[in-house]
């Protein structure tokens, strides 16, 4: 009986590890190389009227200290009107705003966009306000669309 229970728990754990439901980080594959992916993302941000705050090239920073790193770039952007509303719901939202998307390339040359699912912030920052929850849902949809569009050829 103990063996059966143990096997069942292991099987349940393995199935649970593969679930994408409720994940905090979202990953979208790009059809482009790293440089093109970053450029397309930055252009889409500007075209959509969002504010582009900065682009941080972690690989370049690693090289500045004589270290190696595969291509990793963080693009920081947002909508100050949306961000202000969210920070009024809970000032701790300022820890996760403005929005960020990491563009990373693995050792096989595959480039991906990685970002935090904004719905996770409702838990992290204990957001209960319906208007703010609605904004987080819209932000989730917008980030997914932005990453998918930036990843197209």
Superfamily for the 23-150 domain: TT1751-like domain (3.30.310.70)
pLDDT by 10s per residue, the chain, length 153? 555 544 544 554 444 444 455 589 999 999 999 999 999 999 999 999 999 999 999 999 999 999 999 999 999 999 999 999 999 999 999 999 999 999 999 999 999 999 999 999 999 999 999 999 999 999 999 999 999 999 999
Contact 127, 91 (CB under 8 A): no
Q: How far is CA 42 from CA 20, 74, 107, in A?
A: 27, 11, 24
Helices (H), 48-79: 58-64
pLDDT at position 3: 59
> In the chain, what are the domain boundaries?
23-150
pLDDT at position 23: 80
What global pTM score does this model have? 0.84
DSSP string, 108-129: TS-EEEEEE-HHHHHHHTT---
Helix (H, G, I), strand (E, B) or coil at 96: coil
pLDDT at position 146: 98
């Amino acid at each position: 009986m103990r063996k059966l229970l143990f096997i069942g728990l292991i099987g349940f754990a393995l199935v649970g590890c593969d679930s994408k439901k409720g994940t905090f980080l979202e990953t979208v594959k790009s059809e482009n190389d790293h440089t093109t992916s970053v450029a397309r993302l930055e252009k889409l941000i500007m075209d959509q009227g969002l504010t582009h705050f900065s682009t941080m090239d972690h690989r370049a920073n690693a090289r500045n200290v004589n270290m190696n790193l595969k291509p990793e770039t963080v693009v920081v952007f947002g909508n100050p009107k949306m961000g202000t509303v969210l920070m009024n719901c809970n000032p701790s939202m300022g820890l996760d705003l403005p929005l960020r998307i990491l563009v990373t390339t693995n050792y096989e040359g595959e480039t991906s966009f990685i970002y935090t699912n904004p719905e996770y912030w409702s838990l992290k920052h204990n957001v209960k306000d319906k208007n703010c929850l609605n904004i987080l849902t819209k932000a989730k949809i917008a980030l997914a669309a932005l990453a998918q569009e930036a990843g197209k050829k």
